[in-house]
Each structure stands twice: as C-alpha cells, then as structure tokens.
Chains A and B, each alone.
Chain A
Amino acid sequence: NAGVMQNPRHLVRRRGQEARLRCSPMKGHSHVYWYRQLPEEGLKFMVYLQKENIIDESGMPKERFSAEFPKEGPSILRIQQVVRGDSAAYFCASSPLGQGGLNYGYTFGSGTRLTVV
C-alpha cells in the first residue's frame, strides 16, 4: 500500500494562473480531507469529501478555490487565478471512515508545496 499520494510535490505558478493539486487516497479509503499550511502556521482544515460529494467545506476560501473527488480518479484541489498569498503547503489525508475517521487509519500525504511568483 503506497499510502496517500499527492502530486506534484512542488508546483510553481505565476500570479493569475491556475493550480491543480492531486490526491490519491490509500486503498480502501473513501474519505479525503484537505489542509493548508501557510508559512509559520499550523495546518488548517479546508474541506472534507467523499466520492462525488462535498461533506464539509467550512475551511475553504469563498472564491477561487474548489475541490472535487470524482467517482474515478484522484481528488483535485483547484485554485484559480493564484495570488502570492496562496503560496503554502497543501496536505491531503484520507481515512476509511468519515465520522470517527480520526481514530481509524487517518493518514496524511507528503503534501504539495505551491509557490506563486
């Protein structure tokens, strides 16, 4: 089991471009969570998705950010028209459960480091 796979590991975008971050959950996990870590900060929850459903997007910025987890393929975090303030590490986690997932195999990926120039 390769664990939670995130790619790319590093992504550089110019201001105004789009960034697409991918997360493949562990085998058998159908719940995906995205977190953002700004410089000098702790990780902050963004969104929780199940296949084809957004369950909790309370931490997502209202504009330019979107997330999906299609029936087939990885979960995608999409940032449109990136700005310098979007530069951060974006982490994905997955679990086999939603409620209670923290106590049952909640596993993080290695993260994608986005730099906006």
Chain B
Amino acid sequence: AQRVTQPEKLLSVFKGAPVELKCNYSYSGSPELFWYVQYSRQRLQLLLRHISRESIKGFTADLNKGETSFHLKKPFAQEEDSAMYYCALSGGGSNYKLTFGKGTLLTVNP
C-alpha cells in the first residue's frame, strides 16, 4: 500500500525565515513525488515534481529514498507563500493516479 504522511497540520513562520514542509512516504517501488499548492480561494496547482529537479517560486524538494522523504524547502519565506501544501505520490505504473497527504497549512507572518 502507498501512503503519504505530512506530520505538520499547521506551520507558522515569519517573513524571511527558512521554511521546511515535511513529507514522508511509504511505497515499495520507485515512486514519483509531487508537491501541490492551494492558495486561498484558488484551485489546486502543481508546484513541483521530483523528476524535474526544478525550483519554482524559490521552493526546492529533494527525494531521499533512504529516508523515504520529499521535504519542501525555501530559504526565505514570503507572505505570498501562505497556502495549503499537499505532498502526493504516484506509483505502480499508473501514472495518472495520485495519493495525497493530508496537507500542511503554511502561514507566513509579516
């Protein structure tokens, strides 16, 4: 069975501080990992995926297979980063189906 765990329901930081949103997964094969973001009153949108090894809006995430983690990091948080963040996994050859974590609500205070 595949599972995604986001241990922090809420995370609050000050503007300019580093931020790390944790994500751990359970999957026996080689998963694909994604981070999705939902800003207030907007639709869920893809932030980044591990296969792209990209940085979007200053966020990065590295897949650590040894620790089965895919933590999302940003060195200097901005107020506009306040949103709900979901870690998600796809595996088993069905590259159309996502398993989501419960999400972390990030609040960046001025």
Let me know if B95 and A45 touch, CB within 8 A: no
How many pairs of residues, A versus B, come closer than 8 Å at their CB atoms? 63
- Of the candidates B44, B88, B102, the one whose C-beta lies within 8 Å of that of A41 is B102
| A99 at the binding interface (Cβ < 8 Å) | yes
- Of the candidates A45, A109, A110, the one whose C-beta lies within 8 Å of that of B97 is A45
A43-B98, A45-B97, A48-B96 given; A102·B90 CB < 8 A: yes
A42-B4, A109-B43, A111-B43 given; A56·B102 CB < 8 A: no
Q: Which residue of B lies closest to A105 (CB)?
A: B46
- Of the candidates A3, A43, A99, A110, the one whose C-beta lies within 8 Å of that of B95 is A99
- Of the candidates B34, B44, B101, the one whose C-beta lies within 8 Å of that of A91 is B44
Please tell me the size bucket of the interface on B: 20 to 34
Please tell me the size bucket of the interface on A: 20 to 34
Let me know if A56 and B97 touch, CB within 8 A: yes
Query: With a CB–CB cut-off of 8 A, which chain B residues contact A98?
Result: 96
- Of the candidates B36, B86, B95, B101, the one whose C-beta lies within 8 Å of that of A100 is B95
Bound form: Cα–Cα A111–B42 in Å: 10
Bound form: Cα–Cα A106–B46 in Å: 9
Query: With a CB–CB cut-off of 8 A, which chain B residues contact A100?
Result: 95-96
Q: Which residue of B lies closest to A109 (CB)?
A: B43
| A33 at the binding interface (Cβ < 8 Å) | yes
Query: With a CB–CB cut-off of 8 A, which chain A residues contact B97?
Result: 33, 45, 48, 56
| A63 at the binding interface (Cβ < 8 Å) | no
Bound form: Cα–Cα A102–B90 in Å: 8
Let me know if A42 and B101 touch, CB within 8 A: yes
Query: With a CB–CB cut-off of 8 A, which chain A residues contact B96?
Result: 31, 33, 48, 56, 95, 98-102, 106
Let me know if A108 and B45 touch, CB within 8 A: yes
Bound form: Cα–Cα A3–B100 in Å: 22
Q: Hey, what's the 0/1 contact readout for B85-110 against A, CB within 8 Å counting as 1?
A: 01010100011111111110000000
Let me know if B44 and A102 touch, CB within 8 A: no
- Of the candidates B34, B42, B102, the one whose C-beta lies within 8 Å of that of A102 is B34
Which residues of B are interface residues toward A (Cβ below 8 A)? 4, 32, 34, 36, 42-46, 49, 51, 86, 88, 90, 94-103
